Structure 1
């Protein structure tokens, strides 16, 4: 009689050790749900590889358990990679600034990431998975879905995966004819006639920067003998976009009807303060990439240097200390502003910043500018004034909670409106330019929670820019002249160049059409260190960390 020996696990066929995804099924189901609703930048191949790692049959039970433990940090990292949250490079670059935040502000930011509706939906999904898995092999469905998503990625066509028509994140191709009415075909903007593939979008961005590198404002070599002296005041406001005003109901505030010229489609090109201020101070040349902002530019690019060559003295004002993020250091080094900071001694504190540093009352700062000792209103001057009261996390002294944005914006708008009125009574000739740095991300979207600005989304970079001429002999009458073409900083520089002789202040009649027509147009391209957002054929696209372009989730 033959003796039957027990079969060794190593001698059994490998296919008998398929164990399924077990609890990882819920991990992938949660991702599918987030992808469906547009909250993920899902990487199909990486997720399929991770599932294969979890499924590969291992005869040894200890190795199988160890695989799950090793999979935990891998799964967390992959989940983070699939979200729109800042990547490691971005967090490293911003780490020193985050370290300067107050603990109250850090706690406030943390709580914004908790979406209780999503928490509830995840609980329902968990219960549904536990219930259905009693009868259905969920692993088969999950693997099939992962393979299907990879097939979509390879095949190329855009297939709507969400109720809103969002597409599967991939290097997609959309056939759009060159006759598309949304395609910019103006001379200042490179044509957008190629299909919207990742390769074509990158090529268009490169052509945009190549085109912008050739553009600059032509200032006169000297002023005519009959030129009239005036003052230029550039007010650079942090955290103010059209979307923020719409969210707070302040689009109809009297301030915005006080201007002579109002840019309705102005793109700030970034969502951070330092780069925005540098771009404004380098307004006399075309838009550069984010990287090139931190390299020297030609003297012809610096707006205040062009004015200095024509006899304008330079002045610098802040309603904060300029320490956070090395703001003051950056605008000196890369923005070309070398004038001393206006004296801040004795200014009353209006707010405390997110790092608990003082923010001075803007009316007091402007009053000091008006009455600055030794200032002769009959000389030419150019002043750069950066304001911080609307930044996220600002709070009133003695109160740790972030102050209501609408309350702060209402006060600032009232202060600026009153200042313009007072300036009109002073008899001084002043060209006032109000140009916000970027928006405050007050509402947030599917890519970023409220207050997060790592990605320069259209709602953050679409800012209101107003221009007012004070002390004109023939002031503009009626509603502001609206500039509805896509514009950016070069248009501001052009307006200043057209006005630099000051003759409009003493003219019996001003040709406003000649002043505002044919201003430089600039395509909406916005960039931070690790993210680029463009408008291509009427739709926003985003690229993170140099990867593929994907449609910006709406």
Structure 2
């Protein structure tokens, strides 16, 4: 046994150095250094040496995956059932996002330069120097992080929200998170026993895959998109980046934000928004432009969201798109107006929850050549809001008082970033969870003057409180203004969770924790 050069394995490390420099992967110093040390050991027995290199190939793949920002293997196995539903075309589209042309060209150039210069450059020395530099850089960053923590981590989504969290200068992120959930546990909307004044319908349109960042990507202004709406929340926190948890959080808006695991446990009855409305005489309606089978969405909103009504029948509606799993996605306009012409006539007042996946990643238009999700998103977005605006016109024609709310579930991650390729939402980054929410009050006596834009970070509890205030102020009787409803509106720091993944702000920067590990700054930019 003796030590030797790394040979062709130097190419592996050089490629990883390049990916790490670009920000496409992380780099675990100890694991990679130990792997390099293993490769440097040359065994006398040729057969054992060959076996070592075969094993090394397996280790190299595992190590590269571990250093990547891709979801851990155990999460992929948990999602195996859902992944199996992906169409072949969608798999190809996803592969094109992971391995792009620039990456392949860069890899080709590195390989050619390596083979050309390996005769006169000792690349093992280069690899060792690279490992030492990354190890030193990591130790330096750790020291800086410790200094910053001792200096004080003011935890808030925005400067004006600092008063919402009481912390000491030496608190750890875990303690701050605990304090946040403790304060949120004290929040409950206290609905009146009967509504004051004219009754009104509550209609919530829950849109999958539309964040402020997505709108910026396709050149759509939030205020222009909502130009006919009365209230716009430009920095609403969806608190998660997946549909099921987002829907549950919305349907439990009458209490403060809970942890991810608490979403799938029983909650006090007063937390369920639609149950609170039902006690006031509202008839609950569930409407979707899909069958709700993927990830058991229909079952989730029933079991964990408190919506146990039978969904509106859409079998006879026209199909506008097919999803990533080839399931039919029905026309938003046909479904919304179909409900308005039928079931809406039998309830007064109505509380309607609508869920649409027209903007979901991987959708394809019916009778249309296949396109990527990024290419079709602007058209799908335009079609969706054309249908919504026509639905609003039909609501106005019926002379019914309506409080209409548009609440996106999460973003589509159209651009992606250094950590997650386009469409990947494993980590609830700010670009994915910052969604545009809007409210429109429809009624002849509503005092509406101009659009009110709220830039501070807010979340679901604020929506419940707005409904609660509207029930108590007789807004639709003309006895109050919309501006009065917004006084003392609850704000909320931007904290978001997926399974085993948490994002929150520390010193005005987003930090993440994966699988209960250390907190690290979320890389910004592409």
Q: TM above 0.5, one fold?
A: yes
- Distance, in Å, in 1 between the alignment partners of 2:175 and 2:6 is 41
2:434 matched to which residue of 1? 462
Report deviation, 1:185. Answer: 6.2
- Distance, in Å, in 1 between the alignment partners of 2:153 and 2:431 is 27
- Distance, in Å, in 1 between the alignment partners of 2:168 and 2:159 is 9
Whose Rg is larger? 1
1:445 matched to which residue of 2? 417
Query: Does residue 1:503 correspond to 2:474, yes or no?
Result: yes
1:216 matched to which residue of 2? 188
8 Å CA contact 1:435–1:466 kept in 2: the answer is yes
Pairing 1:307-318 to 2, within 5 Å after superposition:
307-318=277-288
- Distance, in Å, in 1 between the alignment partners of 2:167 and 2:109 is 45
- Distance, in Å, in 2 between the alignment partners of 1:172 and 1:87 is 30
Report deviation, 1:437. Answer: 0.5
2:446 to 451, 466, 474: 474
Q: Flag the structure with higher helix content.
A: 2
Pairing 1:49-68 to 2, within 5 Å after superposition:
49-68=34-53
Report deviation, 1:193. Answer: 6.4
TM-score by length of 1: 0.88
Query: Does residue 1:409 correspond to 2:397, yes or no?
Result: no
Query: Does residue 1:93 correspond to 2:93, yes or no?
Result: no
8 Å CA contact 1:213–1:286 kept in 2: the answer is yes
1:144 matched to which residue of 2? 129
SS of 1:86's equivalent in the other structure is coil
Unaligned runs of 5+ residues in structure 1 are 1-13, 160-169
- Distance, in Å, in 2 between the alignment partners of 1:365 and 1:71 is 56
- Distance, in Å, in 2 between the alignment partners of 1:122 and 1:151 is 26
| Offset from partner CA, 1:121-163 (integer Å, 9 cap, x none) | 122222223333322322123223323323443455568xxxx
Query: Does residue 1:71 correspond to 2:56, yes or no?
Result: yes
Query: Does residue 1:484 correspond to 2:438, yes or no?
Result: no
Query: Does residue 1:380 correspond to 2:356, yes or no?
Result: no
- Distance, in Å, in 1 between the alignment partners of 2:36 and 2:93 is 36
| Offset from partner CA, 1:323-370 (integer Å, 9 cap, x none) | 111110111111110011112232111111111221111111111222
TM-score by length of 2: 0.93
- Distance, in Å, in 2 between the alignment partners of 1:62 and 1:484 is 66
- Distance, in Å, in 1 between the alignment partners of 2:153 and 2:177 is 17
Q: 1:200 to 1:413 in 2, by over 3 A?
A: same
Q: 1:373 to 1:538 in 2, by over 3 A?
A: closer
Report deviation, 1:213. Answer: 2.0
- Distance, in Å, in 2 between the alignment partners of 1:539 and 1:374 is 45
SS of 2:364's equivalent in the other structure is coil
- Distance, in Å, in 2 between the alignment partners of 1:283 and 1:109 is 34
Report deviation, 1:177. Answer: 5.4
Pairing 1:262-301 to 2, within 5 Å after superposition:
262-301=232-271
- Distance, in Å, in 1 between the alignment partners of 2:288 and 2:217 is 27
1:30 matched to which residue of 2? 15
8 Å CA contact 2:404–2:441 kept in 1: the answer is yes
- Distance, in Å, in 2 between the alignment partners of 1:376 and 1:227 is 21
Q: 1:374 to 1:255 in 2, by over 3 A?
A: closer
Q: 1:427 to 1:442 in 2, by over 3 A?
A: same
2:89 to 93, 97, 104: 104
Report the more deviating stretch, 385-394 or 210-219: 210-219
Report the more deviating stretch, 526-535 or 384-393: 526-535
8 Å CA contact 1:213–1:288 kept in 2: the answer is yes
1:335 to 297, 305, 328: 305
1:127 matched to which residue of 2? 112
| Offset from partner CA, 1:32-86 (integer Å, 9 cap, x none) | 1111121212111111121122223433333222211111111101101101011
SS of 1:257's equivalent in the other structure is coil
- Distance, in Å, in 2 between the alignment partners of 1:129 and 1:172 is 40
1:189 matched to which residue of 2? 164
SS of 1:265's equivalent in the other structure is strand
1:10 matched to which residue of 2? none
CA RMSD of aligned residues (A): 2.4
Unaligned runs of 5+ residues in structure 2 are none
Q: 1:374 to 1:104 in 2, by over 3 A?
A: closer
Report the more deviating stretch, 177-186 or 286-295: 177-186
8 Å CA contact 1:183–1:192 kept in 2: the answer is no
Pairing 1:506-521 to 2, within 5 Å after superposition:
506-508=477-479, 510-521=480-491
Report the more deviating stretch, 352-361 or 145-154: 145-154
1:433 matched to which residue of 2? 405
